[in-house]
């Protein structure tokens, strides 16, 4: 394993950066980061100080995943950040982490971290919609896609890379993460344990469909079709296997969005994701049997890709 990502939604889960700091002290090469944080939950100077501190403490083993603040904001009844704010946060926090002097809206005086060491903070941006994907390509170092479907990964990834190239950026080192549950065993057993995941993804897709329309051509039909019977979403159960709003999820959707079955099934699916342009597979460990899943990947799957 090369990365360990943490949720950053402080009401739904314990404060993640405390756990990261502890883990950094017990590891040497693994990288850490929130998947994902957002621009609205902390003052930007505090965010920059936090990120620069963890990067320094870990000898440069710190990234961030960044989104608009879907669960983190909405569970408090607040609105997620705009994409313009997300883009500004990316550029200005990266500059503060480097040690540059920065001005931003909430702070009337310029901010500079005198102890910063010039660290170049990698920012992966979580996106689904066309405008968010364009933002990821224009200002991000990587893209986070909460989905394990190779065709959809390619569809999303191409939009981000095209936007970056149109902005004049070199996209040759742009990273693409596919984040999805992995589960072993009989397929029916696997599906039952991972149905919560398409419900979580469906919430994001519903926002896109509401904005762009189901017939706009901007969202694949395979995504819009499966949320037609969606009847709500409980943010207090966001990312958790006991979410009650699962009745619109079909078996095919679960198999498409997740990585399930035998070891051979997992290897084949990850190879398909790699062919589609995925550079990192991030396992969502929320479905039970977490220790066994980690052990099996370490013994039987990672060596196939690192060999």
Outline where DSSP puts E strands in the chain: 3-6, 31-34, 64-66, 102-104, 107-111, 123-126, 142-145, 175-184, 259-261, 280-284
Average pLDDT of the residues in 111-124: 98
SS3 per residue for 272-296: HHHHCCCCEEEEECCCCCHHHHHHH
With a pLDDT cut of 90, the percent of the chain lying above it is 78
DSSP class per residue in 72-95: HHHTTT-PPPPHHHHHHHHHHHHH
pLDDT score of 242: 62
| 65: β partners | 124
pLDDT score of 213: 75
| φ, ψ dihedrals at 180, nearest 5° | -160, 155
**Residue ranges of domains in the chain, CATH in brackets:** 3-181+263-304 (3.20.20.30)
pLDDT score of 234: 57
Pairwise CA distance, residues 45 & 66, whole Å: 16
Up-side HSE of residue 22: CA atoms within 13 Å toward CB?
6
Per residue in 136-154, pLDDT tens? 999 999 999 999 999 999 9
**What pTM value is reported for the model?**
0.91
Contacts of 114 (CB under 8 A, 6+ apart): 99
Asked whether 24 and 61 are in contact (CB, 8 A), the reply is: yes
pLDDT score of 121: 99
Is residue 279 scored above 60 in pLDDT? yes
Pairwise CA distance, residues 55 & 119, whole Å: 7
Instruction: Return the number of other C-beta atoms located less than 10 Å from residue 103's C-beta.
Output: 10
Query: 3-class SS at 66?
Result: strand
Q: Name the residue with higher pLDDT: 116 or 75.
A: 116
Candidate from 6-20, 23-37, 106-120, 219-233 with smallest mean pLDDT? 219-233
Pure H helices in 29-129: 44-57, 70-74, 83-98
Average pLDDT of the residues in 120-148: 96
pLDDT score of 214: 72
pLDDT score of 22: 98
Q: Which two tokens stand for residue 169?
A: 């950026």
**Whose structure tokens read 């990067």?**
55
Per residue in 57-106, pLDDT tens? 999 999 999 999 988 998 899 999 999 999 999 999 999 999 999 999 98
């Amino acid at each position: 394993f090369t990365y360990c990502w943490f949720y950053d939604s402080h009401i739904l889960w314990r404060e993640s950066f405390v756990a990261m700091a502890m883990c950094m002290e017990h590891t040497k090469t693994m990288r850490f980061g929130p998947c994902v944080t957002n621009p609205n939950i902390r003052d930007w100077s505090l965010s920059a100080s936090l990120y620069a501190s963890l990067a320094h403490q870990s000898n440069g083993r710190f990234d961030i995943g960044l989104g608009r603040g879907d669960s983190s904001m909405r569970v408090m009844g607040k609105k997620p950040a705009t994409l313009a704010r997300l883009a500004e946060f990316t550029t200005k926090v990266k500059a503060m982490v480097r040690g540059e002097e920065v001005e931003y809206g909430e702070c009337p005086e310029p901010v500079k971290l005198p102890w910063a060491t010039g660290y170049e903070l990698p920012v992966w941006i979580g996106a689904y919609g066309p405008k968010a994907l364009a933002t990821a390509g224009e200002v991000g170092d990587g893209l986070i896609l909460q989905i394990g479907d190779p065709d959809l990964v390619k569809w999303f990834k191409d939009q981000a890379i095209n936007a970056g190239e149109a902005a004049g950026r070199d996209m040759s080192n742009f990273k693409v993460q596919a984040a999805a549950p992995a589960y072993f065993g009989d397929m029916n057993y696997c599906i039952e344990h991972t149905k919560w995941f398409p419900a979580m993804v469906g919430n994001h897709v519903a926002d896109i469909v509401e904005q762009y329309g189901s017939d706009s051509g901007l969202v694949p039909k395979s995504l819009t079709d499966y949320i037609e019977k969606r009847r709500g979403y409980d943010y207090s159960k966001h990312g958790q296997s006991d979410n009650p709003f699962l009745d619109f999820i079909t078996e095919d959707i679960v198999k498409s969005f997740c990585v399930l079955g035998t070891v051979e099934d997992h290897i084949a699916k990850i190879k398909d994701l790699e062919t589609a342009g995925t550079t990192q597979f991030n396992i969502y460990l929320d479905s039970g049997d977490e220790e066994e899943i980690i052990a099996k990947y370490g013994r039987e799957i990672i060596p196939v890709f690192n060999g």
